[in-house]
Amino acid sequence: MTNAAADPIPLAQALIRCRSVTPADDGALDVMEAALRPLGFTCTRLRFNEVDNLFVRRGTEGPHLCYAGHTDVVPPGDEAAWADNPFAAVIRDGMLYGRGACDMKGGIAAFVAGLTDYLNANPGHPGSISLLITGDEEGPSVDGTRRVLEWMAEHGHTPDVCVVGEPTSQQVLGDTIKIGRRGSMNAWITVRGKQGHSAYPQKADNPVHRLTRVLHALTSTPLDQGSDWFEASTLQVTGIQVDNTATNVIPAEARAFLNIRFNDRHNSAALTEHLRAVLAEHAPDHEMRAQVSGESFLTEPGPFVEALTRAVERSTGVTPKLDTGGGTSDARFITHYCPVAELGAVGATLHQRDECAPVEELRALAGVYRAVLEECLR
Protein backbone atom coordinates (compact mmCIF):
# COMPACT_ATOMS: atom_id res chain seq x y z
CA MET A 1 0.00 0.00 0.00
CA THR A 2 1.23 3.51 -0.88
CA ASN A 3 -0.06 7.02 -0.32
CA ALA A 4 0.43 8.12 -3.93
CA ALA A 5 -2.74 9.12 -5.75
CA ALA A 6 -3.77 6.60 -8.39
CA ASP A 7 -4.02 8.01 -11.91
CA PRO A 8 -7.18 7.09 -13.90
CA ILE A 9 -5.71 8.05 -17.27
CA PRO A 10 -3.80 4.85 -18.18
CA LEU A 11 -6.87 2.72 -17.42
CA ALA A 12 -9.13 5.09 -19.34
CA GLN A 13 -6.81 4.86 -22.34
CA ALA A 14 -6.70 1.07 -22.16
CA LEU A 15 -10.51 0.93 -22.11
CA ILE A 16 -10.93 3.40 -24.97
CA ARG A 17 -8.54 1.33 -27.10
CA CYS A 18 -11.03 -1.54 -26.90
CA ARG A 19 -13.44 -1.12 -29.81
CA SER A 20 -16.43 -2.04 -27.67
CA VAL A 21 -19.20 -0.65 -29.87
CA THR A 22 -22.36 -2.04 -28.31
CA PRO A 23 -22.72 -4.94 -27.75
CA ALA A 24 -19.13 -5.89 -28.62
CA ASP A 25 -16.67 -6.23 -25.73
CA ASP A 26 -13.31 -6.38 -27.57
CA GLY A 27 -11.42 -7.04 -24.35
CA ALA A 28 -12.80 -4.17 -22.26
CA LEU A 29 -13.92 -6.45 -19.44
CA ASP A 30 -10.52 -8.19 -19.47
CA VAL A 31 -8.98 -4.77 -18.86
CA MET A 32 -11.37 -4.23 -15.95
CA GLU A 33 -10.60 -7.60 -14.39
CA ALA A 34 -6.87 -6.99 -14.67
CA ALA A 35 -7.31 -3.72 -12.79
CA LEU A 36 -9.61 -5.06 -10.06
CA ARG A 37 -8.28 -8.52 -9.19
CA PRO A 38 -5.07 -7.12 -7.62
CA LEU A 39 -7.28 -4.94 -5.39
CA GLY A 40 -8.80 -8.04 -3.81
CA PHE A 41 -12.01 -8.28 -5.83
CA THR A 42 -13.69 -11.55 -6.75
CA CYS A 43 -14.61 -11.26 -10.44
CA THR A 44 -17.54 -13.01 -12.10
CA ARG A 45 -18.16 -12.82 -15.83
CA LEU A 46 -21.82 -13.03 -16.80
CA ARG A 47 -22.80 -13.57 -20.41
CA PHE A 48 -26.43 -13.31 -21.40
CA ASN A 49 -27.10 -14.12 -25.05
CA GLU A 50 -24.59 -11.95 -26.94
CA VAL A 51 -23.78 -9.55 -24.12
CA ASP A 52 -20.77 -9.80 -21.79
CA ASN A 53 -21.06 -8.33 -18.30
CA LEU A 54 -18.85 -8.23 -15.22
CA PHE A 55 -19.70 -8.28 -11.51
CA VAL A 56 -16.96 -7.89 -8.93
CA ARG A 57 -17.13 -7.67 -5.16
CA ARG A 58 -14.79 -7.17 -2.25
CA GLY A 59 -16.14 -7.96 1.23
CA THR A 60 -19.20 -9.86 2.38
CA GLU A 61 -20.74 -7.62 5.04
CA GLY A 62 -22.87 -4.50 4.90
CA PRO A 63 -23.11 -1.72 4.13
CA HIS A 64 -22.73 -2.75 0.51
CA LEU A 65 -22.05 0.02 -2.02
CA CYS A 66 -22.20 -0.81 -5.73
CA TYR A 67 -20.83 1.28 -8.58
CA ALA A 68 -22.61 0.68 -11.90
CA GLY A 69 -21.23 1.57 -15.30
CA HIS A 70 -20.90 0.40 -18.89
CA THR A 71 -17.98 -0.26 -21.18
CA ASP A 72 -20.01 -0.37 -24.39
CA VAL A 73 -20.05 2.76 -26.53
CA VAL A 74 -22.09 4.15 -29.39
CA PRO A 75 -20.68 3.86 -32.92
CA PRO A 76 -18.16 6.57 -33.84
CA GLY A 77 -19.82 7.37 -37.17
CA ASP A 78 -17.49 8.58 -39.91
CA GLU A 79 -14.11 7.81 -38.36
CA ALA A 80 -12.31 9.81 -41.03
CA ALA A 81 -14.09 12.92 -39.74
CA TRP A 82 -12.48 12.57 -36.30
CA ALA A 83 -9.31 14.52 -35.63
CA ASP A 84 -7.74 11.25 -34.42
CA ASN A 85 -8.65 7.59 -34.52
CA PRO A 86 -11.66 7.40 -32.15
CA PHE A 87 -10.13 4.37 -30.43
CA ALA A 88 -6.54 5.63 -30.16
CA ALA A 89 -7.06 7.41 -26.81
CA VAL A 90 -4.89 10.37 -27.80
CA ILE A 91 -4.08 13.05 -25.21
CA ARG A 92 -3.73 16.53 -26.67
CA ASP A 93 -3.81 19.92 -24.94
CA GLY A 94 -4.88 18.36 -21.66
CA MET A 95 -7.82 16.46 -23.19
CA LEU A 96 -8.25 12.71 -23.53
CA TYR A 97 -9.90 11.97 -26.87
CA GLY A 98 -11.78 8.86 -27.93
CA ARG A 99 -15.15 7.18 -28.01
CA GLY A 100 -16.08 6.59 -24.41
CA ALA A 101 -13.77 9.21 -22.91
CA CYS A 102 -16.82 11.04 -21.61
CA ASP A 103 -19.50 8.32 -21.70
CA MET A 104 -18.31 6.50 -19.71
CA LYS A 105 -14.95 4.74 -19.81
CA GLY A 106 -13.30 7.80 -18.33
CA GLY A 107 -15.74 7.70 -15.44
CA ILE A 108 -15.15 4.01 -14.79
CA ALA A 109 -11.39 4.58 -14.74
CA ALA A 110 -11.89 7.46 -12.31
CA PHE A 111 -13.86 5.23 -9.97
CA VAL A 112 -11.17 2.54 -10.03
CA ALA A 113 -8.52 5.20 -9.28
CA GLY A 114 -10.57 6.63 -6.42
CA LEU A 115 -11.23 3.10 -5.19
CA THR A 116 -7.51 2.34 -5.25
CA ASP A 117 -6.74 5.39 -3.16
CA TYR A 118 -9.55 4.52 -0.74
CA LEU A 119 -8.28 0.96 -0.29
CA ASN A 120 -4.70 2.16 0.17
CA ALA A 121 -5.88 4.34 3.05
CA ASN A 122 -8.49 1.88 4.35
CA PRO A 123 -7.27 -1.70 3.79
CA GLY A 124 -9.64 -2.98 6.48
CA HIS A 125 -12.60 -0.90 5.33
CA PRO A 126 -16.07 -1.64 6.66
CA GLY A 127 -18.75 -3.19 4.47
CA SER A 128 -18.53 -4.31 0.86
CA ILE A 129 -17.74 -2.70 -2.47
CA SER A 130 -18.92 -4.03 -5.81
CA LEU A 131 -18.94 -2.97 -9.45
CA LEU A 132 -21.59 -3.86 -11.99
CA ILE A 133 -20.13 -3.30 -15.45
CA THR A 134 -22.31 -4.03 -18.46
CA GLY A 135 -21.81 -4.15 -22.20
CA ASP A 136 -25.47 -3.40 -23.02
CA GLU A 137 -26.28 0.13 -21.86
CA GLU A 138 -26.03 1.87 -25.22
CA GLY A 139 -27.97 -0.93 -26.92
CA PRO A 140 -31.32 -2.56 -26.17
CA SER A 141 -30.49 -2.82 -22.43
CA VAL A 142 -32.05 -6.28 -22.28
CA ASP A 143 -29.11 -8.54 -21.43
CA GLY A 144 -27.05 -6.13 -19.38
CA THR A 145 -27.74 -4.45 -16.06
CA ARG A 146 -31.25 -5.86 -15.75
CA ARG A 147 -30.06 -9.45 -16.07
CA VAL A 148 -27.03 -8.90 -13.84
CA LEU A 149 -29.27 -7.45 -11.11
CA GLU A 150 -31.43 -10.57 -11.26
CA TRP A 151 -28.31 -12.71 -10.88
CA MET A 152 -27.07 -10.56 -8.00
CA ALA A 153 -30.38 -10.95 -6.17
CA GLU A 154 -30.34 -14.71 -6.67
CA HIS A 155 -26.78 -14.98 -5.27
CA GLY A 156 -27.08 -12.65 -2.28
CA HIS A 157 -25.34 -9.63 -3.80
CA THR A 158 -28.12 -7.03 -3.70
CA PRO A 159 -26.46 -3.76 -2.65
CA ASP A 160 -27.66 -1.31 -0.01
CA VAL A 161 -26.99 1.68 -2.27
CA CYS A 162 -25.75 2.17 -5.81
CA VAL A 163 -23.90 4.98 -7.59
CA VAL A 164 -24.21 5.09 -11.37
CA GLY A 165 -21.26 6.83 -12.99
CA GLU A 166 -23.04 8.47 -15.93
CA PRO A 167 -21.69 11.93 -16.86
CA THR A 168 -24.29 13.92 -14.92
CA SER A 169 -22.42 17.17 -14.25
CA GLN A 170 -23.62 20.10 -16.35
CA GLN A 171 -21.04 22.90 -16.23
CA VAL A 172 -18.45 21.96 -13.61
CA LEU A 173 -17.61 18.68 -11.94
CA GLY A 174 -20.03 17.81 -9.18
CA ASP A 175 -22.67 20.44 -9.88
CA THR A 176 -25.41 17.85 -10.43
CA ILE A 177 -26.49 14.60 -8.80
CA LYS A 178 -29.35 12.83 -10.50
CA ILE A 179 -31.74 11.32 -7.98
CA GLY A 180 -34.35 10.16 -10.48
CA ARG A 181 -35.29 9.99 -14.11
CA ARG A 182 -38.44 10.51 -16.12
CA GLY A 183 -40.07 7.50 -17.66
CA SER A 184 -39.93 7.00 -21.41
CA MET A 185 -42.25 5.24 -23.82
CA ASN A 186 -42.81 5.13 -27.58
CA ALA A 187 -46.02 4.55 -29.50
CA TRP A 188 -46.57 3.57 -33.12
CA ILE A 189 -50.04 4.49 -34.42
CA THR A 190 -51.75 3.44 -37.63
CA VAL A 191 -55.07 5.06 -38.56
CA ARG A 192 -57.12 3.41 -41.31
CA GLY A 193 -59.59 5.13 -43.60
CA LYS A 194 -61.09 4.49 -47.00
CA GLN A 195 -59.10 5.21 -50.12
CA GLY A 196 -60.71 7.40 -52.77
CA HIS A 197 -60.40 10.22 -55.29
CA SER A 198 -59.61 13.59 -53.74
CA ALA A 199 -62.29 15.19 -55.95
CA TYR A 200 -64.94 13.00 -54.28
CA PRO A 201 -64.08 13.09 -50.58
CA GLN A 202 -67.64 12.17 -49.63
CA LYS A 203 -66.96 8.71 -51.03
CA ALA A 204 -63.79 8.24 -48.97
CA ASP A 205 -62.67 8.45 -45.35
CA ASN A 206 -59.44 10.39 -45.07
CA PRO A 207 -57.18 8.81 -42.40
CA VAL A 208 -54.82 11.79 -42.53
CA HIS A 209 -57.59 14.07 -41.29
CA ARG A 210 -58.43 11.64 -38.53
CA LEU A 211 -54.79 11.30 -37.56
CA THR A 212 -54.29 15.06 -37.41
CA ARG A 213 -57.28 15.34 -35.07
CA VAL A 214 -55.74 12.65 -32.88
CA LEU A 215 -52.41 14.44 -32.79
CA HIS A 216 -54.02 17.80 -32.12
CA ALA A 217 -55.94 16.34 -29.18
CA LEU A 218 -52.78 14.75 -27.78
CA THR A 219 -50.54 17.80 -28.14
CA SER A 220 -52.88 20.70 -27.40
CA THR A 221 -53.37 19.86 -23.71
CA PRO A 222 -50.30 19.41 -21.46
CA LEU A 223 -50.07 16.11 -19.65
CA ASP A 224 -49.27 17.95 -16.40
CA GLN A 225 -47.47 20.97 -14.97
CA GLY A 226 -44.65 19.03 -13.34
CA SER A 227 -44.25 17.78 -9.78
CA ASP A 228 -42.08 18.45 -6.75
CA TRP A 229 -38.93 16.89 -8.24
CA PHE A 230 -39.79 16.61 -11.95
CA GLU A 231 -40.38 18.96 -14.84
CA ALA A 232 -43.59 18.68 -16.85
CA SER A 233 -44.17 15.51 -18.85
CA THR A 234 -43.89 15.87 -22.62
CA LEU A 235 -45.49 14.14 -25.59
CA GLN A 236 -43.63 14.62 -28.85
CA VAL A 237 -44.69 13.58 -32.33
CA THR A 238 -41.46 12.17 -33.75
CA GLY A 239 -42.73 11.10 -37.16
CA ILE A 240 -45.67 11.08 -39.57
CA GLN A 241 -45.82 8.74 -42.55
CA VAL A 242 -48.27 8.47 -45.43
CA ASP A 243 -47.30 6.13 -48.26
CA ASN A 244 -48.97 8.10 -51.04
CA THR A 245 -47.21 9.46 -54.12
CA ALA A 246 -50.34 10.64 -55.95
CA THR A 247 -51.72 14.12 -55.34
CA ASN A 248 -55.30 13.21 -56.22
CA VAL A 249 -55.70 10.09 -54.06
CA ILE A 250 -56.96 10.01 -50.51
CA PRO A 251 -54.78 7.34 -48.87
CA ALA A 252 -56.02 4.24 -47.09
CA GLU A 253 -53.97 4.74 -43.94
CA ALA A 254 -51.65 7.12 -42.13
CA ARG A 255 -49.11 6.53 -39.37
CA ALA A 256 -47.56 8.54 -36.58
CA PHE A 257 -44.80 7.91 -34.06
CA LEU A 258 -44.76 9.35 -30.54
CA ASN A 259 -42.30 9.61 -27.67
CA ILE A 260 -43.49 10.45 -24.16
CA ARG A 261 -41.19 11.47 -21.31
CA PHE A 262 -43.24 11.33 -18.13
CA ASN A 263 -42.79 12.24 -14.50
CA ASP A 264 -44.03 10.62 -11.32
CA ARG A 265 -47.60 11.77 -11.89
CA HIS A 266 -48.00 9.05 -14.50
CA ASN A 267 -47.13 5.47 -15.31
CA SER A 268 -46.91 3.84 -18.71
CA ALA A 269 -50.12 1.83 -18.30
CA ALA A 270 -52.23 4.93 -17.64
CA LEU A 271 -50.60 6.80 -20.52
CA THR A 272 -51.26 3.91 -22.88
CA GLU A 273 -54.94 4.01 -21.93
CA HIS A 274 -54.97 7.77 -22.51
CA LEU A 275 -53.66 7.25 -26.05
CA ARG A 276 -56.20 4.55 -26.72
CA ALA A 277 -59.09 6.73 -25.51
CA VAL A 278 -58.11 9.61 -27.81
CA LEU A 279 -57.72 7.23 -30.73
CA ALA A 280 -61.11 5.66 -30.08
CA GLU A 281 -62.75 9.08 -30.13
CA HIS A 282 -61.20 10.37 -33.35
CA ALA A 283 -60.11 7.28 -35.26
CA PRO A 284 -62.04 4.14 -34.31
CA ASP A 285 -60.30 2.04 -36.98
CA HIS A 286 -56.73 2.06 -35.72
CA GLU A 287 -53.83 0.00 -34.44
CA MET A 288 -51.40 1.08 -31.74
CA ARG A 289 -48.27 -0.50 -30.35
CA ALA A 290 -46.55 0.91 -27.27
CA GLN A 291 -43.10 0.11 -25.91
CA VAL A 292 -41.86 1.23 -22.51
CA SER A 293 -38.17 1.96 -21.94
CA GLY A 294 -38.66 2.59 -18.24
CA GLU A 295 -40.96 4.06 -15.62
CA SER A 296 -40.17 7.25 -13.77
CA PHE A 297 -38.43 6.86 -10.43
CA LEU A 298 -37.15 9.01 -7.58
CA THR A 299 -34.65 8.36 -4.82
CA GLU A 300 -35.98 10.57 -2.04
CA PRO A 301 -33.32 12.78 -0.44
CA GLY A 302 -32.09 11.10 2.74
CA PRO A 303 -28.89 9.66 4.24
CA PHE A 304 -27.58 8.24 0.93
CA VAL A 305 -28.11 11.40 -1.11
CA GLU A 306 -26.77 13.47 1.78
CA ALA A 307 -23.60 11.33 1.82
CA LEU A 308 -23.07 11.93 -1.90
CA THR A 309 -23.61 15.65 -1.42
CA ARG A 310 -21.02 15.78 1.37
CA ALA A 311 -18.56 13.86 -0.79
CA VAL A 312 -18.89 16.33 -3.64
CA GLU A 313 -18.63 19.35 -1.34
CA ARG A 314 -15.56 17.94 0.40
CA SER A 315 -13.69 17.11 -2.77
CA THR A 316 -14.71 19.96 -5.10
CA GLY A 317 -16.14 22.76 -2.96
CA VAL A 318 -19.26 22.64 -5.15
CA THR A 319 -22.74 22.15 -3.68
CA PRO A 320 -24.53 19.86 -6.16
CA LYS A 321 -28.03 20.41 -7.45
CA LEU A 322 -30.38 17.44 -7.11
CA ASP A 323 -31.90 16.81 -10.52
CA THR A 324 -34.12 14.37 -12.45
CA GLY A 325 -33.75 15.68 -16.00
CA GLY A 326 -32.36 14.10 -19.13
CA GLY A 327 -33.04 10.78 -20.76
CA THR A 328 -32.98 7.28 -19.33
CA SER A 329 -30.14 5.30 -17.80
CA ASP A 330 -29.64 1.89 -16.24
CA ALA A 331 -30.59 3.45 -12.91
CA ARG A 332 -34.19 2.72 -13.97
CA PHE A 333 -33.47 -0.97 -13.35
CA ILE A 334 -31.43 -0.51 -10.19
CA THR A 335 -34.13 1.50 -8.43
CA HIS A 336 -36.17 -1.72 -8.01
CA TYR A 337 -33.41 -3.17 -5.81
CA CYS A 338 -31.93 -0.31 -3.77
CA PRO A 339 -31.60 3.48 -3.56
CA VAL A 340 -29.69 4.73 -6.59
CA ALA A 341 -28.22 8.05 -7.68
CA GLU A 342 -26.06 9.14 -10.60
CA LEU A 343 -22.86 11.10 -10.20
CA GLY A 344 -20.19 11.60 -12.82
CA ALA A 345 -18.18 13.88 -15.07
CA VAL A 346 -19.33 16.78 -17.21
CA GLY A 347 -21.17 15.34 -20.21
CA ALA A 348 -20.15 18.02 -22.69
CA THR A 349 -19.19 15.74 -25.61
CA LEU A 350 -20.96 12.43 -25.03
CA HIS A 351 -21.94 10.72 -28.29
CA GLN A 352 -20.27 13.49 -30.31
CA ARG A 353 -17.49 13.35 -32.86
CA ASP A 354 -14.13 13.98 -31.16
CA GLU A 355 -15.60 12.95 -27.81
CA CYS A 356 -13.19 13.95 -25.06
CA ALA A 357 -12.70 14.53 -21.35
CA PRO A 358 -10.29 16.86 -19.55
CA VAL A 359 -7.48 14.85 -18.01
CA GLU A 360 -7.53 16.88 -14.79
CA GLU A 361 -11.31 16.51 -14.52
CA LEU A 362 -11.00 12.72 -14.57
CA ARG A 363 -8.35 12.95 -11.86
CA ALA A 364 -10.62 15.20 -9.82
CA LEU A 365 -13.50 12.77 -10.35
CA ALA A 366 -11.33 10.04 -8.82
CA GLY A 367 -11.13 12.21 -5.73
CA VAL A 368 -14.91 12.59 -5.68
CA TYR A 369 -15.38 8.84 -5.83
CA ARG A 370 -12.86 8.27 -3.05
CA ALA A 371 -14.87 10.70 -0.92
CA VAL A 372 -18.09 8.85 -1.85
CA LEU A 373 -16.60 5.60 -0.52
CA GLU A 374 -15.48 7.34 2.67
CA GLU A 375 -18.92 8.86 3.25
CA CYS A 376 -20.98 5.78 2.41
CA LEU A 377 -18.89 3.08 4.07
CA ARG A 378 -18.89 3.99 7.74
- Average pLDDT taken over every residue of the chain: 97
CA Rg, the chain, in Å?
24
pLDDT at 137 over 70: yes
Closest CA to 15 of 144, 108, 90: 108
145 in Cβ contact with 307 (< 8 Å) = no
* Average pLDDT of the segment spanning 213-241: 97
How far is Cα 161 from Cα 17, in angstroms, rounded to an integer? Answer: 31
Give, rounded to a whole angstrom, the gap between the first and last alpha carbons of the chain. Answer: 21
pLDDT tens per residue, range 280-293: 999 999 999 999 99
Cis peptide leading into residue 284 (ω within 30°): no
Residue 244 reports pLDDT greater than 50? yes
Find the range with the poorest average confidence among 55-59, 138-142, 257-261, 287-291: 138-142
SS3 sequence, the chain? CCCCCCCCHHHHHHHHCCCCECCCCCCHHHHHHHHHHHHCCEEEEEEECCEEEEEEEECCCCCEEEEEEECCECCCCCHHHCCCCCCCCCEECCEEECCCCCCCHHHHHHHHHHHHHHHHHCCCCCCEEEEEEECCCCCCCCCCHHHHHHHHHHCCCCCCEEEECCCCECCCCCCEEECEECEEEEEEEEEECECEECCCHHHCECHHHHHHHHHHHHHHCCCCCCCCCCCCCEEEEEEEECCCCCCCEECCEEEEEEEEEECCCCCHHHHHHHHHHHHHHHCCCEEEEEEEEECCEECCCCHHHHHHHHHHHHHHCCCCEEECCCCCCCHHHHCCCCCEEECCCECCCCCCCCCEEEHHHHHHHHHHHHHHHHHHCC
Judge contact between 193 and 249, C-beta under 8 A. no
- How do residues 192-205 score in pLDDT, each as one tens digit? 999 999 999 999 99
Mean pLDDT of 296-323: 97
Up-side HSE of residue 128: CA atoms within 13 Å toward CB? 21
Q: Is the pLDDT of residue 2 over 60?
A: no
Confidence band for 327, pLDDT divided at 50, 70 and 90: confident
- Catalytically active residues are 72, 137
Q: Residue 3's pLDDT is what? A: 44
The mean pLDDT value for 87-97 works out to: 98
Mean of pLDDT values over 73-95 = 97
Distance CA 209, CA 204 (A): 11
Q: Answer for the pair 300, 116: CB distance below 8 angstroms, yes or no.
A: no
The model's pLDDT over 3-42, given as tens digits with 9 standing for 90+, comes to: 458 999 999 999 999 999 999 999 999 999 999 999 999 9
pLDDT given at position 188: 98
- Reported as a single tens digit per residue, the pLDDT across 340-377 is 999 999 999 999 999 999 999 999 999 999 999 999 99
Model pLDDT, residue 190: 98
Structure confidence at residue 125 (pLDDT): 96
Is the pLDDT reported for residue 44 higher than 80? yes
Q: Give the C-alpha separation, 67 to 134, whole Å.
A: 11
Q: Omega of the bond prior to 185 within 30 degrees of 0, cis?
A: no
The answer to whether the predicted template modeling score (pTM) of the entire model surpasses 0.85 is yes
Phi, psi of 294 (to 5 degrees): 175, 150
According to the model, what pLDDT value does residue 370 have?
98
Mean pLDDT across 209-223: 98
Q: Assess whether pLDDT exceeds 70 at residue 77.
A: yes
pLDDT at 4: 56
Give the total residue count for the chain.
378
